[in-house]
Amino acid sequence: MSRGSLYELLDQFITALDESYISEEAYLKYKKQVNGCLAILNGYINYLKKAKSSD
């Protein structure tokens, strides 16, 4: 669910860029932050999967 929410957020940033609500510079900044969050989240999910399988 969390990954889906991050992808929805990214989609909203794309729409905001397309509608000229934000600049391309702002979009790239937000996209980088979302991608960073996705990397952390994916790492955490992998950690939980490994912890569960080692039980």
What pLDDT shows up at residue 37? 97
Range of the domain at 9: 2-53
Say how far apart CA 51 and CA 18 lie, in whole Å. Answer: 42
Cβ pair 1, 15 in contact under 8 A:
no
Q: Residue 3: is its pLDDT beyond 90?
A: yes
Can you give the pTM of this predicted structure?
Answer: 0.84
Say how far apart CA 26 and CA 29 lie, in whole Å. Answer: 5
Structure tokens at 24: 């391309």
As for how many domains the chain has, the answer is: 1
Per-residue pLDDT of 9-49, as tens digits, reads 999 999 999 999 999 999 999 999 999 999 999 999 999 99
pLDDT band at residue 54 under the 50/70/90 scheme? confident
Say how far apart CA 7 and CA 4 lie, in whole Å. Answer: 5
